[in-house]
Amino acid sequence: MAKNLGLRGPVCDQAKYNLVMRFSSECELPYTAEYTGIGIVAYKVLADELFTSKYKGKKIEDLSDQEIKPILRYIGDENQKPETSKFEKILKLSEIAQEMEITLAQLAYAWVLSNPLVSSALIGTRHPERIDENLKALDVSLTKDTLGKIDEVLDNRPFDLIDNCYIGEDYAFYKERVKTDPRAKLGKYPFD
């Protein structure tokens, strides 16, 4: 649309992207980002403190209603308690972070930044002293093994239903698909 109006188009797409909210940034945006050359700016990376040390060592039944509220937005239904099994997955991520000698927040930021289409991640914290701590995620490299462990724990890796294609290992496929898609030549994309 911007192109047709002679305007400068978008330069980035800001998307909620974190370990539990993956679909949009991994299945819908890659195609658009590649085609337009824009990057993804991730926000809500810590999922309202879900990926912090706030819940470390706790059990769902021990949490107050105030502590449960943010969890429900991401791994439950706002009218009920979150499933214990889903909450335990978050605790298992803490163990992965601990093995790497980093915080869960650093793991969450490093994971988001490992997506080749993410150009930056917004750091949000209520505690200014945590900014430096979270910035250390820039020095964290996640191996294929670690990424595999995370996927195994969460069991929420989304896929493009049409092509059954994941971002990540199959990122090259997305790049090639954009180059060869006949709709690109015909100008039939909704964002043209």
- Of 48, 61, 38, the C-alpha closest to 16 is 48
* 79-100 pLDDT per residue, tens: 555 666 777 888 899 999 999 9
CB 121 within 8 A of CB 109: yes
Q: What is the pLDDT of residue 28?
A: 73
Hey, how many other C-beta atoms are within 10 angstroms of the C-beta on 145?
8
CATH of domain 12-186: 3.20.20.100
Choose between 40 and 184: higher pLDDT. Answer: 40
Res 78: pLDDT = 53
For residue 83, the model assigns a pLDDT of: 63
The whole-number average pLDDT for the span 161-184 is: 49
- How high does pLDDT run on average in the chain? 78
Which residues pair with residue 43 across a beta bridge? Answer: 16
Provide the residue ranges of all domains of the chain, joining segments of one domain with +: 12-186
Mean pLDDT of 121-148: 90
Tell me which residue of 35, 18, 13 sits closest to 105, measured CA to CA: 18
What pLDDT is attached to residue 164? 46
Identify the band that residue 158 occupies on the pLDDT scale cut at 50, 70 and 90.
low
Choose between 182 and 45: higher pLDDT: 45
Q: Residue 154: what pLDDT?
A: 86
In this structure, which amino acid lies at residue 51?
Answer: F
Local confidence band at 181 (pLDDT 50, 70, 90 cut-offs)? low
Spatial separation of the C-alpha atoms in residues 66 and 58, rounded to whole Å? 14
CB-based contacts of 28: which residues, under 8 Å, 6+ apart? none
Q: In a 3-state reduction of DSSP, which class is residue 13? A: strand
pLDDT in tens, 15-73: 999 998 887 777 777 777 777 788 899 999 998 888 988 888 888 788 888 887 777 77
The answer to whether 18 and 118 have CB atoms below 8 angstroms apart is: no
179 or 76, higher pLDDT: 76
Whether the pLDDT of residue 157 is over 80: the answer is no
When pLDDT is cut at 50, 70 and 90, the band that residue 191 belongs to is: very low
Segment (H or E) for 121: strand 118-121
* Torsion over CA: 163, 169, 174, 176 (sign): negative
Mean pLDDT of 141-165: 76
